Amino acid sequence: MPLSRDKRIEQLAQKSQQWEAIVIGGGASGIASALDLASRGIKTLLLESHDFTSETSSRSTKLIHGGVRYLEQGHFGLVKEALRERKLLLLNAGEIITPLPFFIPTKGMRDSFYYRAGLKAYDLLARNETLPPSSFRKQSEIEKFLPHLSPEHQRQGVSYWDAQFDDCELALAMVRTFESLGGLALNYSPVTELIHNSRGQLTGLITQPKGKAPISLGSQTFINATGPFSDKLRQQDNPKTSPRIITSRGSHLVFPAALLGAQHALLIPKTKDGRVLFAVPWKGVTLLGTTDIPIAEATRDPQPSAQEVDFILNEARPYLPVDQHEILASFAGFRPLVKRHAHQKSARISRSHLIEKSPSGMISLMGGKWTTARQMGEEVGDQISDMLQYKKPSQTATLPLLTHPGFYQQKALSWSKKARWAIENDHALTVEDFIARRTRLSFLDSQQAQLVQKEVSSLFL
């Protein structure tokens, strides 16, 4: 039986001086780090300022993928690592990670061979995989699996396989597993201050759970996993440190499933800004995105700009019958990209991650992808284990996750019954937690989200 929020806060105060690790930030990076640490038997606390995955980690394209386009940029190591992680996720959470075929339309034989060769390399890097290999596709096949693709692009192309997921569902499964291993996870508990001793070592922090008094906590180690907000904490820890994070906004538009008319995703190669655009079937809708807009500083809850909406529509129009009036919802997130040296541009920055140890001992985990979060967590776990002189290795590569597949999609359960369950079992505190990240309604259909919000709002704070 999961603990109530009051019990969690009680435990937080009781254990105040006993933590071996405190992870700050409850997105993919923080949750994966906390899970890794708990899997080694390290006493770990996970603190999130708002809801788990309320920032970047709920706003992804929902792909568990090697990243075909990173091959083109020569990032073979990153692709290989992500393909290995794709395999592990299919093994450890296969009920909520779904294999998905993708189609790349090509023009002429040269184009086809170029993509075929690239995808052969993708197949080779994914060796021992359970997913089918890539293949050439004929017009008659393409017409069947992507019936609404414009006839001009149905002539030829290449198919390959990746996987998709619900980013919030995976995060909650990881939080559940973390708690089952003895960890304590608390959302709506921002870290407001870091405490250093006279030698400059980080020894504690202050957090304030929503509606409660501030609590001072001590720990032997600290992990900063605050994604696009990482520099803020890094500079609180060490005012002299230079910023590392470049934020880039990525936006998606949500259309009815009929836009694709199939359970097959489309990769539109070569957008005007030299990137790719995905059209992906997901939970009964079609997701179309994404963009890459450099932003000076991350703010909470970003939204797509009018220019991004136009960009996505214009890029998709030659391929699919997109109509602005049919947009059901939209969402945007900030990529926390890591600058390795000054003046790097966001599209060119590698999606690989960086782990940094500050002079005070704080570990910052920055960058990366949802797909590689487990590996990132394991690397953090290795560093923390060294600091604590712990011997037990990470267990997460073979750790089945505690999933509740499709719970919030069940038609037989009323919205109020699901809302009560979310409050009691899944850390939901506000109606937005339920609408946006448990049921995903705000990401699927904003009108329906408003109706359900009215129906259940009295159950929440």
Nearer to ligand FAD, 69 or 116 (CB): 69
57 binds ligand FAD (CB under 6 A): yes
Nearer to ligand FAD, 83 or 322 (CB): 83
Nearer to ligand FAD, 67 or 112 (CB): 67
Q: Which of residues 226, 286, 352, 453 is near ligand FAD by CB under 6 A?
A: 226
Q: How far apart are CA 431 and CA 438, in angstroms?
A: 10
Residue 292 near residue 346 (C-beta atoms within 8 A): yes
Shortest approach of ligand FAD to residue 24 CB, angstroms?
Answer: 5
**Of 36-44, 153-161, 223-231, 339-347, which segment contacts ligand FAD by CB under 6 A?**
223-231
Name which of 196, 224, 220, 182 is nearest 19 in CA terms: 220
Strands 157-165 and 63-64: antiparallel
Q: Which of residues 62, 69, 86, 418 is near ligand FAD by CB under 6 A?
A: 62
Residue 35 near residue 178 (C-beta atoms within 8 A): yes
Sort 138 into a burial class: Cβ within 10 Å, 0-12 / 13-18 / 19+. exposed
61 binds ligand FAD (CB under 6 A): yes
66 binds ligand FAD (CB under 6 A): no
Q: How far apart are CA 222 and CA 129, in angstroms?
A: 36
190 binds ligand FAD (CB under 6 A): yes
Q: Which of residues 137, 244, 264, 335 is near ligand FAD by CB under 6 A?
A: 335
Shortest approach of ligand FAD to residue 406 CB, angstroms?
Answer: 20
Nearer to ligand FAD, 61 or 106 (CB): 61
Residue 26 near residue 227 (C-beta atoms within 8 A): no
Quick check: bond before 192 cis, omega within 30? no
Strands 191-196 and 202-207: antiparallel
Q: CA-CA-CA-CA torsion for 146, 147, 150, 153, nearest 10 degrees?
A: 40
C-alpha distance from residue 70 to each of 20, 123, 125, 292 (Å): 37, 14, 13, 15
Q: Please give the residues from 357 up to 396 whose contact with ligand FAD meets the rule CB under 6 A.
A: 368-371
Nearer to ligand FAD, 62 or 153 (CB): 62
Q: How far apart are CA 78 and CA 65, in angstroms?
A: 11
Nearer to ligand FAD, 295 or 397 (CB): 295
**Of 57-65, 125-133, 258-266, 383-391, which segment contacts ligand FAD by CB under 6 A?**
57-65
Nearer to ligand FAD, 159 or 290 (CB): 290
Nearer to ligand FAD, 45 or 423 (CB): 45
232 three-class SS: helix
Shortest approach of ligand FAD to residue 26 CB, angstroms?
Answer: 5
Shortest approach of ligand FAD to residue 36 CB, angstroms?
Answer: 14
Nearer to ligand FAD, 34 or 181 (CB): 34
Q: CA-CA-CA-CA torsion for 381, 383, 387, 391, nearest 10 degrees?
A: 60
Q: Please give the residues from 15 up to 54 whose contact with ligand FAD meets the rule CB under 6 A.
A: 24-30, 47-50, 53-54
Shortest approach of ligand FAD to residue 351 CB, angstroms?
Answer: 7
Shortest approach of ligand FAD to residue 191 CB, angstroms?
Answer: 4
Nearer to ligand FAD, 56 or 219 (CB): 56
Q: How far apart are CA 139 and CA 378, in angstroms?
A: 45
Q: How far apart are CA 338 and CA 355, in angstroms?
A: 10
Residue 383 near residue 357 (C-beta atoms within 8 A): yes
Instruction: Provide the token pair at 387.
Output: 């600091």
Shortest approach of ligand FAD to residue 128 CB, angstroms?
Answer: 21
Binding residues for ligand FAD, total number by CB under 6 A: 38
279 three-class SS: strand
Q: How far apart are CA 64 and CA 87, in angstroms?
A: 9
Strands 353-357 and 363-367: antiparallel
Q: Please give the residues from 228 up to 267 whose contact with ligand FAD meets the rule CB under 6 A.
A: 228-229, 250
Q: Which of residues 20, 36, 55, 179 is near ligand FAD by CB under 6 A?
A: 55
Shortest approach of ligand FAD to residue 395 CB, angstroms?
Answer: 21
Instruction: Provide the token pair at 409.
Output: 């999609």
Q: How far apart are CA 99 and CA 163, in angstroms?
A: 4
- By rule CB under 6 A, what string of x and - marks binding of each residue 288-307 to ligand FAD? --x-----------------
Ranges of H-type helices in 238-275: none
Q: Please give the residues from 153 up to 182 whose contact with ligand FAD meets the rule CB under 6 A.
A: none
60 binds ligand FAD (CB under 6 A): yes
Name which of 23, 26, 27 is nearest 335 in CA terms: 27
* Footprint on this chain of ligand FAD (rule: CB under 6 A): 24-30, 47-50, 53-57, 59-63, 190-191, 225-229, 250, 290, 333-336, 368-371
